[in-house]
Amino acid sequence: MKKLNIFFMVMMLMVSVSVNAQQYTKSTVKGIANGFISELMQGNLKGTLYFFDPSYVAEQHDDFLKGRTEQFVAEFLAGNIKKDYYAITPQLDRIKSIKVKKTFCDLEKDEIYADVKILMDYGVKYTVRLQLRVTDSGDLRFIGAVG
């Protein structure tokens, strides 16, 4: 009987996680990306942290970068101009616009991202892929490189 109860509890947890994960679509990804962009363009760097996986923030922002939010966000938005030709880490106050170009959400393959086009005030344009994942609490948040 005890084994049956444990099995039932595990199955209910799996169904709960599965139902939570199924609510995410390309439209959800676009909404999250646009929320992040809105906070960034308003200059609310602390507000952008909400859009990141808390464990990623703890490891990269808090521990590795010692709370340097501007550096954390700028490095997250780093990309290449002309595919592998020239790397850029933007000065956040020089970003003129950011627009979502494409979103993708395949939870079975654990592939969730938003491609955003960034235009700098001095004319440079580039696209960067913002990766997301479903967190332990079931939320969809950004992740990036650590180190």
What is the domain class of 2-142 according to CATH?
Answer: alpha beta
Q: How far apart are CA 27 and CA 102, in angstroms?
A: 10
**30-59 pLDDT per residue, tens:** 999 999 999 999 999 999 999 999 999 999
The C-alpha torsion from 10 through 14 and 17 to 19, rounded to 10°, is -130
Report field, pTM of the whole predicted structure over 0.95: no
**100-144 pLDDT per residue, tens:** 999 999 999 999 999 999 999 999 999 999 999 999 999 999 999
